[in-house]
Amino acid sequence: MLTVAQLGQEAVAARLRGAGLRLQTGPFVACIHSSLPALAVALERMYGAYPLMDADTPADFDVLLRSPRGLRRLIKPQVYFHYDGLAPFQPLPLDQTYPMFEWAMNWCISNHAHSWLVIHAAVVEREGAAVILPAPAGSGKSTLCAALVARGWRLLSDELTLIRVDDGRIDPVPRPVSLKNASIDVIRAWAPGMHLSPPVTDTLKGTVAHLRAPDASVARAHEPARPAWIVFPKWRAGAPAELAPVPQARAHLRLAENAFNYSLLGAAGFTTAARTIEQTRTFDFSYGTLDDAMDVFEQLLAGRR
């Protein structure tokens, strides 16, 4: 199957301008349209290992990123996002084209992927066991996810955990990991071999950069995983790395709080969350350094062995 890297940047740009670039990420196919050169550059850099689908493949999401028309193209130029002809977001400065694409893809999945219970959580896997990391912004979730991936854990997702409602397995959506502000330099120094996109400043989330998903994780995007742990992370400066068990009832409530479609799914949402809690060990996790955090996750694995 043809990948983005095999197609090449010029051909990527041509498809974006024409009938659309049909990009597969996990179970989803997005048909992407854009005449913005920055998007073609970013996709070739960050999605090189991802498969491309033929023009007759049905798309789950049909999206357009474009610049404004008229004089607005020249004065403080912006980028607009359209989904099926609608514009759900306010435009952003043009230099934020790539972050907007990533946020738009998250929006598409979280608002439309109702065949799964969708949790705002990172999820990684190793030795057949997946750990779900639900957390609000600022908790150190993405930093922890990036560090685990750099230490050999398979990336399933940085933002969206997709739990099947039929059998409770997790379907991967391995896209780039979003890092913000101080986390960018932390990961750059801690895992210098990983590829980060150029930082973009002055976004609504501060300075943003993305860590490219490892090719090995992309290649296994059709391999679901079984959840083994749910860990609610919280970074605290200078704090020791500590796990504290969370009672099942409390863990269920917190998982529901981090779900996008728990109420929408009704009984299926409750049943899926309850089954996930029953199948996993649940913890609060505070940490102050990545080295200490890695030791704790190694201990989790060792205990499972």
Q: What would the pLDDT profile of 241-283 be if each residue is shown by its tens digit?
A: 999 999 999 999 999 999 999 999 999 999 999 999 999 999 9
Domain boundaries, the chain: 4-112, 116-304
Instruction: Tell me the per-residue pLDDT of 86-145, one tens digit each, with 9 for 90 and over.
Output: 899 899 999 999 999 999 999 999 999 999 999 999 999 999 999 999 988 778 899 999
What average pLDDT does the segment 4-24 reach? Answer: 96
Task: Match 């609060």 to its residue by tokens.
Answer: 284
* Coil vs helix vs strand at 21: strand
What average pLDDT does the segment 32-47 reach? Answer: 96
Is the pTM above the cut of 0.85? yes
Phi (first) and psi of residue 89, to 5 degrees: -120, 155
- What angle in degrees, to the nearest 10, is found between the helix axes of 37-46 and 97-112? 70
Phi (first) and psi of residue 254, to 5 degrees: -70, -35
Instruction: Tell me the per-residue pLDDT of 171-215, one tens digit each, with 9 for 90 and over.
Output: 999 999 999 999 999 999 999 989 999 999 999 999 999 999 999
CB 217 within 8 A of CB 149: yes
Strand 206-211 relative to strand 242-245, pairing: unpaired
Distance from C-alpha of 126 to C-alpha of 149, rounded to nearest angstrom: 10
Distance from C-alpha of 89 to C-alpha of 99, rounded to nearest angstrom: 13
Percentage, residues of the chain above pLDDT 90: 89
State the pLDDT at residue 243: 95
- Nearest-CA neighbor of 173 among 130, 122, 133, 126? 122
State the pLDDT at residue 70: 58
